[in-house]
Chains A and B, each alone.
Chain A
């Protein structure tokens, strides 16, 4: 059954693309742009380049900002996010470290205690588990435990969640883990504007901030507004963005899932099934419950989408907070979570595809939720 469904979906996508380009070209480009520049005017930037710009601009503006991590300098970054930075700023500002996450993360934390503003890159957030004590017990808790006397203006960043064919130890999503820690701020950008604005905000923030990027998004291009290209452009941490307005159901997602949610929303609209409102969380902590509550009051239905595991996840937290809020009285159906499968990520390509939610899964769940009504 599933392979047939897959075929149906792939056939419909080109027609969706055409419909989209006719009705809303900007949104179409945002969703469907591939790894090349769109020659139809307007500036486009890959997420990778957006992150690179953010780093370059903040390092130029404040000489206390410096970058460290494995392969960030001479190799130009394991994923080329720090390309050109060593050449521009020199080895005092861009440091290649030995293979020791606890070592260089601890060093970064200590330098932040002493007044510098480090950007600590983890090759992937999976490897940060070897430094998680420094992140949680030191960076997150020290301002509090020192009576407000010790600051830690540090930014931790790196790719998080799903990649392609790298198996379980390289594919875990850490949004829920770090999102539960008081003292940390946690952001999860989706597109280039998110990436640039949130990374800049993170570097400028005097608190420790965790920036959860996504490797599969690095090469994707998105249009950048005039404002987003400015060197003072920041995205406020703690505020979600409504990517698409709608009336029948609210879909809340973060990171790569936002793209799938938007595709699903368009698919459902084209099929005349419903008008979905898609919220891009942007920040995991603080969580913008206000925006979600406002939307739920309007649509009366809520679906959360994430790539991470279901138990104790981002969706679980949103469910709990919505249930505890005034939005509960506005729900026409129980909240549904769409999440990654409750397994370590498989290596086999077909199994890996089933382990993460995509457009088709989201659309199916939304259709199901529309048929439910409390009390009916």
Chain B
């Protein structure tokens, strides 16, 4: 039992600024608040009384009028420092040389491929490109997945495809939209997809892949397979309505999906501090009732371990997990962007020098005796040669056959499409001078 105190009466007796106190049984003056005062009344100490409202069953009643602006910011988990040194020995990754060097080699290959394809766009050879510069450590998350975990990406996760075995030829063919493109030349460059590698075809509208990832996870749960879905997106896309809908529905429907947010500080030119006012994206996960962790996104091992743990939760408990990986976008948003318009070159250079995911991983490998200068140069050189070779081959190939334009609108051509296709075939035959099909693959 406790003496009821009108909150208004209490408020009138204290200064208008909100005072953080534990609830008091009697109306004290403000000056009397102290722990000793409370212990005096310990025999009348109130038990925190639980709320019964169906919408907030974990809450307790309080007599404190406090309108909070923030909760405790969520910590950022890291394993290595910026020099690649493991900070807590118990977190030392227990991996083989082959496993660790594969991750780093793929980061290097990705880097090399990005540079060459970016230049290709600048030379007018492909229409568009997006680089992964500064964020290569996300490959660590791919290394923690099972090959049959379905990936729904945004557009800056080509490294996960590379890790899974997408070949340089396949990357180039998509960028050149040629007849070997798995996507049959129907998408802009970097919109990769691979059914064999369980990588969902990239779709341009932002954040639409989030509720879809929840759905694919639901399907996996229904099938009984011990897999999960990995869903990547940026901190900008997390402002979309679909983000909120997806997290809420993943939580309420119990979907085994990992939501991996690459918080790289920019959404084209919009800096993170204009994108949201809260504590990053991680704070939202807690709001939707799901397991959440924030990690150092430039630390391969932090990303790897967090994904490993998250995967366990998703697969074993069928619960969604939110990972927010903090990083920095070193490159421009895309070839349609020049970021010097909204940030200084010095800022970018500073990041490259002080917190570089490639350097941190390389230094860790070197400390284990698994890497050195010679191997670095050799790998860069062979990969450059390989990329250029694929690139040249892709450029020479013809575009998909003209008839492919009508396929896959539906599973089978509808009457109007059959009619249109026939009409086009007749026109091409009748006016070859006006319909030059020499750049297109022959019809099968």
A contacts, CB < 8 Å to B: 66, 92, 95, 97-98, 100, 102-116, 118, 130, 133-134, 137-138, 142-151, 182-183, 185, 206-207, 238, 286-287, 290
Contacts and interface: CB of A to CB of B under 8 A. Distances in A.
Interface string B376-393: 000000000000000000
Interface in B351-408: 407-408
Given A104-B249, A145-B187, A182 B208 contact: no
A229 B193 CA distance: 43
Contact of A108 (B210, B215, B411): B215
Interface stretch (B30-38, B138-146, B154-162, B177-185): B177-185
A238 B249 contact: no
A86 to B, nearest CB: 15
Interface in B82-114: none
B212 A107 contact: yes
Interface stretch (B9-17, B43-51, B217-225, B276-284): B217-225
Contact of A138 (B184, B193, B212): B212
A231 B411 CA distance: 24
Interface in B237-263: 241-242, 244-246, 248-249, 252-253, 255
Interface stretch (B52-60, B198-206, B266-274, B329-337): B198-206
A89 to B, nearest CB: 12
A144 B218 contact: no
B183 A107 contact: no
B310 interface: no
Contacts of B150: 114
Contact of A106 (B182, B215, B408): B215
A142 B201 contact: yes
Contacts of B216: 110-111, 113-114
A107 B253 contact: yes
B241 A110 contact: no
Taking residues whose C-beta sits less than 8 angstroms from the other chain, chain B's interface range is: 35 or more
Nearest to B218: A111
B27 to A, nearest CB: 42
Contacts of A182: 409
B215 A107 contact: yes
Interface in B11-29: none
Interface in B171-192: 181-184, 186-187, 191
B414 interface: yes
9 contacts: A102-B245, A106-B211, A106-B242, A110-B211, A110-B212, A130-B241, A134-B208, A149-B182, A149-B193
Contact of A149 (B195, B209, B244): B195
Contacts of B232: none
B252 A98 contact: yes
A183 B187 CA distance: 16
Contact of B218 (A107, A130, A147, A287): A107
A153 B411 CA distance: 10
B215 A98 contact: no
Contacts of B217: 110
A114 B225 CA distance: 12
B246 A106 contact: yes
B152 interface: yes
Contacts of A206: 411
Contacts of B201: 142, 145-147, 149-150
Contacts of B253: 95, 97, 107
A113 B209 CA distance: 11
Contacts of A137: 203-205, 208
Contacts of B444: none
B438 interface: no
Contacts of A102: 211, 241-242, 245
Contact of B249 (A97, A150, A207): A97
B287 interface: no
A206 B195 CA distance: 17
Contacts of A183: 409-410
A142 B203 contact: yes
A107 B415 contact: no
A291 B3 CA distance: 82
Contact of B210 (A106, A150, A151): A106
Contacts of A134: 208, 211-212, 242
A66 B217 CA distance: 15
Contacts of A110: 152, 209, 211-219
B63 to A, nearest CB: 32
A286 B416 contact: yes
Nearest to A286: B414
A115 B414 CA distance: 23
Interface centre among B195, B214, B245 (most CB of A within 10 A): B245
A107 B203 contact: no
A103 B214 CA distance: 9
B211 A147 contact: no
Contact of A104 (B187, B203, B211): B211
Contacts of B410: 143, 183, 185, 207
A238 B203 contact: no
Contacts of B246: 103, 106-107
Interface in B305-348: none
